[in-house]
Every structure is written in C-alpha cells, then in structure tokens.
Amino acid sequence: MARATIDETVTDDQASSLPAESGQKADDIKQSEEIALLREELRAANDALAADQDVVQQWEDRCAQLETTISSLTAQIEEEQKEANEVITRW
C-alpha cells in the first residue's frame, strides 16, 4: 500500500466539495456567458434608443420650424387682410 504525501491527502470534506466546486465553475461560466449576452442586448438596445432619440430630435426640430413658419404666415395673412380692409374702406 502506497503512502499518501501531505499534498495527496484529501479529507472527506474536501472530497465532497470537489464536485460542488466544478459545478460552481460551470455555473460561473454559464452566468458569465449570460452576462455577456445581456451586455450585448443592452448595447443593441442603447444603440436603438439613441437612433430613436435622433429621429425624435429631428421631428422636434421640424415641428419647431413648421410652428415658426405658421406664425410667420399667420402674421403675413393678418397684415394683408388689414391692408385689404384699408383699400376697401378707401374705395
């Protein structure tokens, strides 16, 4: 019977924990893969959100331009109507 050296000696507690440790490593690897996948999904969602925000900003800018144009045209119409009324009054 061969003698076990100190390094080769495995206690019952250590022996029972070995499968759990390898199972834990597998769980850690699985969790790391899930985290990497979630990070990629988050990155894609952030990119999509940024693109959506750009589109929203473009529409907000366009709306502001249209509101300015409407205000300008309304003022122009009111001025022309006033001038037309003055012409009618003089006629």
Can you give the pTM of this predicted structure?
A: 0.52
Phi-psi region of 62 (alpha: psi -120 to 50; beta: other; left: phi over 0): alpha
Residue 7 has pLDDT above 70, yes or no: no
* pLDDT band, residue 91 (cuts 50/70/90): confident
Calpha distance 7→78 (Å, rounded)? 98
Whole-number pLDDT of residue 37: 94
Q: Residue 59 has which token pair? A: 């529409």
More confident call, 10 vs 30:
30
Model confidence over 13-63: pLDDT tens digits?
555 555 556 778 888 899 999 999 999 999 999 999 999 999 999 999 999
